[in-house]
Chain A
Amino acid sequence: GAVVSQHPSRVICKSGTSVKIECRSLDFQATTMFWYRQFPKQSLMLMATSNEGSKATYEQGVEKDKFLINHASLTLSTLTVTSAHPEDSSFYICSARVPGRGYTFGSGTRLTVV
């Protein structure tokens, strides 16, 4: 079946550094990917919609200069958390729509900023 591979699964970084998270669609082309953030015991919150070859669309309240999204190919989207701070510690999840089948999700990235 259609799979979205997300890496890394876990990352710990120092405050002030940047972290890149990758999502790859393995056996289908994803012109659009979605990035979510999830805090403990809360639901998934959509951060942005990533469009291949164009700028991402950010949800209200999400800083586009802090959460850089690149979708340079039909199979890869990346989210870079710049100048990370402890409050950015969260579970980040990507998703892509599989043509004719609905949405599939990556396995998530647990980011801890120390």
Chain B
Amino acid sequence: DAKTTQPPSMDCAEGRAANLPCNHSTISGNEYVYWYRQIHSQGPQYIIHGLKNNETNEMASLIITEDRKSSTLILPHATLRDTAVYYCIVRELLQGAQKLVFGQGTRLTINP
């Protein structure tokens, strides 16, 4: 079962920052937070992941609370092409391949 809770949908104006929350109150100490997104009729795309420190890359920033029970994905300047379903997933980073379990995600709509 997915161990995360996300709002089912959000709207954001083009050019503004999109802040997507995720609750993962049962996260364990060795589990990472991963974010993926899925644009309509495509395979999911990796965005970012983190353990406890805030992370930033060319796509987004990830803010993890100090108690690690929740996190926020930030798209700093949302464009229409950021309209997608965003999935927050927690899992351990171990050797070998472990399955990713997807929750329902947040459907983000960027409005012009």
Contact = CB atoms under 8 A, between A and B. Distances in A.
Q: Please determine whether chains A and B interact with each other in the same assembly.
A: yes
Interface of A: 4, 6, 31-32, 34, 36, 43-46, 49, 91, 93, 95-97, 102-108, 110
A89 B67 CA distance: 43
A93 B43 contact: yes
Contact of B100 (A4, A103, A110): A103
Contact of A97 (B43, B49, B97, B102): B97
A103 B35 CA distance: 11
A105 B43 contact: yes
7 contacts: A4-B43, A31-B97, A43-B87, A95-B100, A102-B46, A103-B100, A108-B43
Interface string B87-112: 10000000011111111110000000
A46 B101 contact: yes
A32 B96 contact: yes
Given A102-B49, A104-B46, A43 B41 contact: no
A103 B32 CA distance: 13
Contacts of B103: 43
A103 B99 CA distance: 9
Contacts of B99: 34, 46, 49
A106 B104 CA distance: 20
A93 B41 CA distance: 10
A43 B100 contact: no
B96 to A, nearest CB: 7
A47 B37 CA distance: 20
- Counting chain B CB atoms within 10 Å of each CB, the highest count among A43, A91, A97 belongs to A43
A88 B49 CA distance: 33
Nearest to A31: B97
A108 B98 CA distance: 20
Nearest to B107: A41
A46 B44 CA distance: 13
Contacts of A107: 42-43
